[in-house]
Amino acid sequence: MKRYLFICLLLASVTGFAQNTINNYKYVIVPEKFSFLKQSNQYDLNSLTKLFLEEKGFKVYYDNADLPTEIANNKCSALIADLLEKNSMFTTNVTFLLKDCKGNILFKSKEGKSREKEYKISYNLALRDAFTSLNEVQYAYNGTTIANEQTNTAPAPVAAQSAQITPLVATTAVAQTPVAEAKQPDGTLYAQPIANGYQLINTAPKIVLTLFKTSAAEYFIASNGTANGIVLKKNGDWFFEYYQNDKRIAEKLLIKF
């Protein structure tokens, strides 16, 4: 019994430590290509990682993008996102990491898993599964200033540091737009490309609808496994229309392409 309590306390302390540590950071840098992949943003893993982190409240940048002054002058003010892959013959396994500038792991997710056969869908589902661990952490940037760990020979004079404040505020204001746009309402379905269209996946993760392309850009043949119909865009909103017992049903969808 004592051993069980000790393990519980240990796990609780580790979780609390990880939460308090990542709360010290406002920014996360996502690489344009993860080490186990051959191409930039292969299987959409990098863009999905960026999206999930922005939904959590972080301000996220790719490592090949123009960075805000605060990060450009001090790389240690940002966390670095990474993915680990450990696949088996029938399962895709992905673990999500947040590291500091020295490579220390401040957050490690559970091992996300998927048994889907198609690589892109399998990796996407495994990544979503791994990110459910981050949902258990109540992230809120606490305003802590991370110590400047630049390799420059000397710290900037006080006057020079003050001069940096104006461009920093301007850059931060611009950077807020994609974060706000990335926040999706409850019920959002994420479109994952397949050979002839898209699969719409919720946050469970579960495939909700399969869309097949037509000659019209905003018109798809659709199936949810039990009903066949169409998905089309009307007045800026997406709808799934199908017949049930000779009655036409129109369901409004929130889709993130």
| DSSP H helix total and E strand total for the chain | 6, 12
pLDDT at 146: 53
**Tokens at residue 21, please?**
């540590």
pLDDT at 17: 42
| Neighbour count for residue 52 (Cβ, 10 Å) | 21
117 and 141 together in one domain: yes
Total domains in the chain come to: 2
Any alpha helices (H) in the chain, and if so which ranges?
Answer: 2-22, 45-56, 69-73, 119-135, 158-163, 165-182
33 and 145 together in one domain: yes
Q: Are 103 and 56 in contact (CB under 8 A)?
A: no
The torsion angles phi and psi of 113, rounded to 5 degrees, stand at: -130, 150
Final residue belonging to a domain, choices 182, 205, 222: 182
pLDDT at 243: 87
pLDDT at 186: 53
174 and 88 together in one domain: yes
Structure letter (DSSP) for residue 63: T
163 and 91 together in one domain: yes
| Interatomic CA distance for residues 201 and 236, integer angstroms | 20
pLDDT at 169: 38
Specify the amino acid at residue 205.
P
204 and 78 together in one domain: no
111 and 150 together in one domain: yes
The residues pairing with 184 across neighbouring beta strands, listed in sequence order, are: none
157 and 226 together in one domain: no
Tens digit of each residue's pLDDT, the chain (257 residues): 555 544 444 444 434 444 458 999 999 999 999 999 999 999 989 998 998 899 899 999 999 888 888 898 898 999 999 999 988 888 999 999 999 999 999 999 999 999 888 888 889 999 989 999 988 888 989 877 454 444 343 444 444 443 443 343 333 334 443 333 333 445 788 888 888 889 888 877 788 899 999 888 889 999 988 888 999 998 888 999 988 888 889 899 998 88
168 and 82 together in one domain: yes
30 and 147 together in one domain: yes
| Interatomic CA distance for residues 37 and 43, integer angstroms | 9
| Interatomic CA distance for residues 133 and 150, integer angstroms | 31
- Containing domain of residue 123, as a range? 2-182
pLDDT at 61: 94
Final residue belonging to a domain, choices 164, 182, 200: 182
pLDDT at 109: 95
Final residue belonging to a domain, choices 144, 160, 182: 182
Give the residue from 215, 164, 193 showing the smallest Cα distance to 43.
193
State pTM to two decimals. 0.55
